[in-house]
Amino acid sequence: MDQSKINALRAEPVATRTHIIGGEHVPASDGDLMDILSPIDGQVLTQTAKGTVADMEAAIGAARAAFEDKRWAGQPPAARKKVLMKWADLIEANALELAVLGVRDNGTEINMAIKAEPGSAAGTIRYYAEALDKIYGEIAATPSDILGMIHKEPVGVVGAIIPWNFPMMIGAWKLGPALAMGNSVVLKPSETASLSLMRMVELAHEAGLPDGVLNAVTGEGAVVGEAMGLSMDVDVLVFTGSGGTGRRLMEYAARSNMKRVYLELGGKSPNVIFADAPNLDEAAKVAAGGIFRNSGQVCVAGSRLLVEASIHDEFVAEVAKASSAMKVGDPLDLGTAIGAVNSEIQLKANLGFVETARAEGGDVVLGGSRILQETGGYYMEPTIVTGVTVDATLTQKEVFGPVLGVTAFESDEEAVRLANATVYGLAGAVWTSNLSRAHRMVREIKTGLMHVNTYGGADGTVPLGGVGQSGNGSDKSLHAIEKYINLKTAWIKL
């Protein structure tokens, strides 16, 4: 990447954004707007339409009309593939523009954003485009005078609520399989990070996606998100975000049409370090990156470090050393390793967790404070807290910020007990040279994703989904398609 190109894109004004409904740019029905603050400097970056219930209903109506007249679902698989492939190409062609726009909006460091946002989104869309004409129905084993057929049909209208930490990447996880299977979609981006995702929707229309198949409404979750959840015309609802919001969406589904709801609700992921790890220096560097990249605002972040007692002090010192070497600062500077916290509200919440940790007896051995206040932006030091007990807040509650809690263990059994001591079960890792131990840990730690001697990097070929209060259903891989199809049996007497 070229820093001068990044700087030029940074300087470009960002036009006021509207909804995208039925292929048209549409302002809020009452004309209201929301200020969008950049976490880089705390200044107003632009404004977006502040959606109303009527706006969401219009978008859902457009999606329903597009589905029922089969302008997309009725196209041959090869035709849908061609559009999705062109969309992926356009995302790649505009990758730097999209990445810089997203960083200005949510604060992710540009080195991470370029790969995790447009890079990942293009790859995901292309993956499902390649897959869509390889998804077949089935012929059942039946008596000779019966033909039993199992058809795979699109569900209809999909509502997708997308978080602010990786809007393009996570948006593509929902959009790729949903659109590949012929569904229509209504997107509700986060209030604090919608700009790159809205631009991605525009590119979908440039690629030839028919009007009404993909719609996007910006606004407050309590208004337009609730309207989506309560709609009688949304068939499937997918969401990535907090447990509290996930519970409300399930309630909305029960109060409306019993729509299927798939939730990815974050985690409190354990990163388990044994003394026989093949490379403790590498494990320390990876542990630091696994929690502090994107200021800890990663669903699968390794926020709980469980370290075998015999190496605890030495290993924590190495993690602190690696963390201290990660530059916190302007996320559009290529030399920055840790960007901005997404919002002032999130920053204050992060600092509150540190104060709680101190009050509960934790020892803050690194960081713990807001920094770079003179910029007006929202920046926080990478923070490490040792002496975190199993019932401490840092064990039980997701921070979603650059705060690492450390706990020592003595045995394999204690490591498993600690790893499983929360209501979450999204991700985890174990570092060991013992093959049997590695397999036992993979089997016994209750998560949807387990790493061995690494952390992060699982690509789109494998599913990501949680157990417990980390949610249900899976994003990524062919398994994600299951959320966006209905199975229909045809029982035919010959």
For the chain, which residues make up each domain, given as ranges? Answer: 3-265+471-491, 270-459
Fold of domain 270-459:
Aldehyde Dehydrogenase; Chain A, domain 2 (3.40.309)
Closest of 134, 158, 161 to residue 220, by C-alpha: 161
Asked if 290 and 301 count as a contact pair (C-beta separation under 8 A), the reply is yes
Q: pLDDT tens for residues 166-199?
A: 999 999 999 999 999 999 999 999 999 999 999 9
What is the chain's Cα-based Rg?
A: 23
Nearest to 284 by CA among 309, 245, 241, 318: 318
Sheet bearing 270-273, strands edge to edge: 363-366, 383-386, 403-409, 304-308, 270-273, 427-431, 449-452
Kindly state the tokens that stand for 278: 């093949």
Rounded-to-integer distance, Cα 117 and Cα 108, Å? 10
Q: Do domains 3-265+471-491 and 270-459 have the same CATH topology?
A: no
For residue 166, what pLDDT is reported?
98
pLDDT tens string 283-294: 999 999 999 999
pLDDT in tens, 85-98: 999 999 999 999 99
Helix (H, G, I), strand (E, B) or coil at 417: helix
299: helix, coil or strand?
coil
Q: What is the pLDDT of residue 395?
A: 98
Q: In DSSP terms, which residues pair with 47 in a beta bridge?
A: 35
pLDDT score at 230:
98
Indicate whether 1 pLDDT > 90: no
What are the residue numbers of the active site? 264
The per-residue pLDDT for range 58-83, each reduced to its tens digit, is: 999 999 999 999 999 999 999 999 99
- Position 309 scores a pLDDT of 98
pLDDT, mean over the chain: 98
Query: Rounded to whole angstroms, how far apart are CA atoms 468 and 10?
Result: 41
Burial of 278 (0-12, 13-18, 19+ CB in 10 A): exposed
Mean pLDDT, to the nearest integer, of 255-265? 98
In this prediction, residue 78 carries a pLDDT of 97
- For the segment 447-466, the average pLDDT, to the nearest whole number, is 96
Tens digits of residue pLDDT in 335-349: 999 999 999 999 999
Residue 408 has pLDDT above 90, yes or no: yes
In this prediction, residue 352 carries a pLDDT of 98
Percent of the chain whose pLDDT exceeds 90: 99
Calculate the alpha carbon distances from 85 to 154, 177, 204, 388, 456 in Å: 20, 13, 10, 48, 27
* Residue 106 pLDDT exceeds 90: yes
Confidence of residue 245 (pLDDT cuts 50, 70, 90): very high
pLDDT at res. 36: 98
Q: What is the pLDDT of residues 129-175, one digit of tens each?
A: 999 999 999 999 999 999 999 999 999 999 999 999 999 999 999 99
CA distance 185 to 60: 8
Average pLDDT value for residue range 302-331: 98
What's the pLDDT at 292?
A: 98
CB 110 within 8 A of CB 99: yes
Is the pLDDT at 14 greater than 90? The verdict is yes
- Give kind and range of the element (H or E) at residue 9: helix 3-11
CATH fold of 3-265+471-491 reads Aldehyde Dehydrogenase; Chain A, domain 1 (3.40.605)
Residue 103 identity (one-letter amino acid): V
Per the DSSP assignment, residues forming a β-bridge with 61 are: none
**Helix (H), strand (E) at residue 102:** helix 95-106
